[in-house]
Structure 1
């Protein structure tokens, strides 16, 4: 019960959770956007959103959007794009099969944090997994460096 009654513990847990979610979003963006930039046609820039506008190409559609992933039943989900992008990096030799599993564990843990924040604050059995946070940082660095080299 200390988790919910101690202000310092609450503050610490919220800060670490924020770091984890931010790390995942940066990793997700790196994984998905680099492939999109490579395989899609750039059509302009959205000044309002600060993003590059792209047009889906047949290559991107085949490699990412239409990739057959038996574990995924909803082919239109964000998870499809993230998982297919992770597999693209594996196919390209940038990451291993074990690292793809780590990326899925990181995503699953991010979902636990963002969709069940009350559990994080009150359940003594639920904490931010610092090892997965470390792996997220490692994977972000690895993918970004691979892209450059």
Structure 2
């Protein structure tokens, strides 16, 4: 049996194994969702900053959003990254990382069958770097535009986006952290909605 035949057999075994198929589907969907959170974090902070109100068509955006942000690049995502870079929030290495993260997202989106049946795997290290980039952006934004922080350590700041991706990473990694966080949040929510002591 040559290497090509062995690879084909291995691919079918990977695909037909329910546990393997489930794990790969979860990892792929989690990475795609995390990428959308990163995009939202990069674009929506800035776009929201330029909202002047709303009408029947939705948010009214200041013309300055186009001249100060969107005119930097044809892609709103890239334009926003360039704005963050100019403000000193991101480095060129961060922008290069964003390109790498987008490339992996495109691979998953366009080659999903190979991720489910062939030798392709979601890169957990890139998933972690995606989390770190979201953390860097969200913390910078919160410190500079939303919160009166004082002497708090910025590493203690955790946005909703960060919590969401951290949970997804835990699921992909297969550890018990996701279950612990879920149970704690469920407990807090139950106490608040039931009026139980400690709410």
TM over 0.5: yes
Alignment match, 1:49? none
Q: 1:118 to 1:87 in 2, by over 3 A?
A: same
Gap runs ≥5 in structure 1 = 47-52, 70-74
Deviates more, 1:57-66 or 1:90-99: 57-66
Alignment partner, residue 97 of structure 2: 102
For 1:107 and 1:55, how far apart are their aligned partners in 2? Answer: 29
Are 1:146 and 2:157 matched, yes or no? Answer: no
- Note the C-alpha offset of 1:54: 2.4
Relative contact order: is structure 1 or structure 2 higher (C-alpha 8 Å, sep ≥ 6)? Answer: 1
Match of 1:57 among 59, 62, 66: 62
* Partners of 1:81 and 1:138 in 2: CA distance: 21
CA contact 1:83–1:104 (8 Å) conserved in 2: no
For the aligned residues, what is the CA RMSD? 1.9
Bigger helix fraction:
2
Separation in 2, partners of 1:45, 1:21: 32
Q: TM-score under structure 2 normalisation?
A: 0.61
Deviation, 1:140, is 1.2
Q: Secondary structure at the match of 2:69?
A: helix
Give the number of the structure whose alpha-carbon radius of gyration is greater.
2
Alignment match, 2:114: 119
Assess, with a 3 A threshold, how the Cα gap between structure 1 residues 113 and 40 changes in structure 2: closer, same or farther. Answer: same
Query: Which blocks of at least 5 consecutive residues in structure 2 are unaligned?
Result: 1-9, 144-199
Compute the TM-score of the two structures, normalised by the length of structure 1. 0.79
Q: Please say if residues 16 and 128 of structure 1, whose CA atoms lie closer than 8 Å, have aligned partners that are also in contact.
A: yes
Which aligned segments of 4 or more residues in structure 1 are displaced greater than 4 angstroms? Answer: none
Local SS of the residue matching 1:41? strand
Q: Report how many aligned residue pairs link the two structures.
A: 132
In structure 1, the residue corresponding to 2:85 is in which secondary structure? Answer: helix
